[in-house]
Homo-oligomer: A and B are copies of this chain.
Amino acid sequence: MKKVKVGIVGLGRLGMRHASNLMFRIPNAELVAACSVKQDEVDYVRESWGVAAGYTDFDEFLKNEDMEAVVIVSPSGQHCEQIGKAMARGLHVFSEKPLGVDVAQCRQAERAVEAHPELVFQLGFMRRFDPSYAAAKQMIREGRIGKPFLVKCTSLDPDSRIDSFLPFAPTSGGIFRDLTVHDIDLARWLLESDVTRITAAGGCYKYDELAKCDDVDNAVALMEFKNGTVALFDSGRIAPHGSHVETEIQGTEGMLRIAVVPEKNRVLIYDQTGAVQQCAEDFLERWAEAFQLEMQEFIDCISEGRRPEVTVYDGTKCTEITYAATEALHTHKTVELD
């Protein structure tokens, strides 16, 4: 089996998850280089895992001639520039979401991707790869629920992680761009159409300090789609029970609900509280399998010369929509997209 040689940039929590998947769980991938602005993170993967090459500078990293593909897990503001540089170097690219922090950046990334039709580009909307979401999509394709007309998306980050979020809040872009973006990708994917009209609302119900950076701790949105379908969203940062992502798809002949309870495992505890199901603690636990499967798909696309289903245009669209949703939230006015 020929292995795809991959370099990674960004070794934070999510970066390390991708790195370890590439290192240990993707048989046809080989992690040959790693880049982070933090020397100790680079040292760790070199010394503990034996990754051949380490860098603290992205441009130096790109000069590594061993790499065939790059996985970008750097801060959001750097994604598009790095996509452009990597593809110019002839490298396949996997980039974490969001594609870019504004639409202009996204257009730049689109041009880079279009200039290299021979290269694979995949965006990190991992939820599509979760086996339950994949099964739901497959059932829809098979007509199991008739024509889908309503998607309801809930994304609740655990309150237990709020301390690690608050310092990051000012640069997060706000709840729609940072959190709801995943749901927007799901809704577009499941309804097979694009958003035309957005209304939003929300508030700082628990963490007033978020108001300082024009953000909220919970928000809702109603979006209408070109094909007449609709979606409802609620996103929050204060779930007491864990990392709760739930999606419902109503169709003309049936409906599907994914993850009513974000079960940590299959153990039901009967105690003085009642019958208790423990929940997934954070997104890394909830999406462990999805992160692995999306990376496997990226590597397989390279090996087999296939195109990933998630395109650069999905990234641009989601960025547009999250900007519009944020405007709707701030202005209390319905925003139309063309």
Chain A residues with a Cβ under 8 A of chain B:
1, 23-25, 27, 49-50, 131-132, 135-136, 139, 144-147, 149-150, 152, 197, 199-203, 205-206, 218, 220-222, 224, 228-230, 232, 234, 236, 238-242, 244, 250, 252-261, 263-279, 332-334
Report yes or no: A145 in contact with B266, Cβ–Cβ below 8 A: no
* A64-B157 Cα distance, complex, nearest whole Å: 53
* A224-B216 Cα distance, complex, nearest whole Å: 15
> In the complex, what residue of chain B is closest to A50 when comparing beta carbons?
B1
Each complex incorporates copies of this chain amounting to 4
> Which residues of chain B are within 8 angstroms of A197 by Cβ–Cβ distance?
201, 332
**Which of B136, B238, B264, B275 is in CB contact (< 8 Å) with A241?**
B275
Can you report 20 residue pairs joining A to B where beta carbons are below 8 Å apart? A1-B49, A135-B264, A135-B265, A139-B269, A147-B205, A149-B203, A197-B201, A199-B334, A201-B222, A203-B230, A205-B228, A205-B229, A218-B250, A236-B250, A240-B272, A241-B275, A256-B269, A273-B278, A275-B276, A275-B277
> In the complex, what residue of chain B is closest to A198 when comparing beta carbons?
B199
* A266-B238 Cα distance, complex, nearest whole Å: 23
Residue among A149, A261, A275, A332 with max Cβ neighbours from chain B (10 Å): A275
Report yes or no: B263 in contact with A266, Cβ–Cβ below 8 A: yes
**Which of B135, B150, B242 is in CB contact (< 8 Å) with A220?**
B150
Report yes or no: A256 in contact with B234, Cβ–Cβ below 8 A: no
> Which residues of chain B are within 8 angstroms of A255 by Cβ–Cβ distance?
239-241, 269-271
> In the complex, what residue of chain B is closest to A254 when comparing beta carbons?
B271
> In the complex, what residue of chain B is closest to A280 when comparing beta carbons?
B274
Report yes or no: A271 in contact with B145, Cβ–Cβ below 8 A: yes
* A265-B275 Cα distance, complex, nearest whole Å: 12
> Which residues of chain B are within 8 angstroms of A276 by Cβ–Cβ distance?
273-277
Report yes or no: B273 in contact with A273, Cβ–Cβ below 8 A: yes
> Which residues of chain B are within 8 angstroms of A224 by Cβ–Cβ distance?
201
In whole Å, how far is A241's beta carbon from the nearest beta carbon of chain B?
Answer: 4
* A238-B271 Cα distance, complex, nearest whole Å: 11
* A278-B132 Cα distance, complex, nearest whole Å: 11
> Which residues of chain B are within 8 angstroms of A24 by Cβ–Cβ distance?
27
Residue among A139, A144, A273, A274 with max Cβ neighbours from chain B (10 Å): A274
* A134-B199 Cα distance, complex, nearest whole Å: 32
Q: Given A199-B334, A220-B150, A274-B279, does the pair A259, B263 have CB atoms closer than 8 Å? A: no
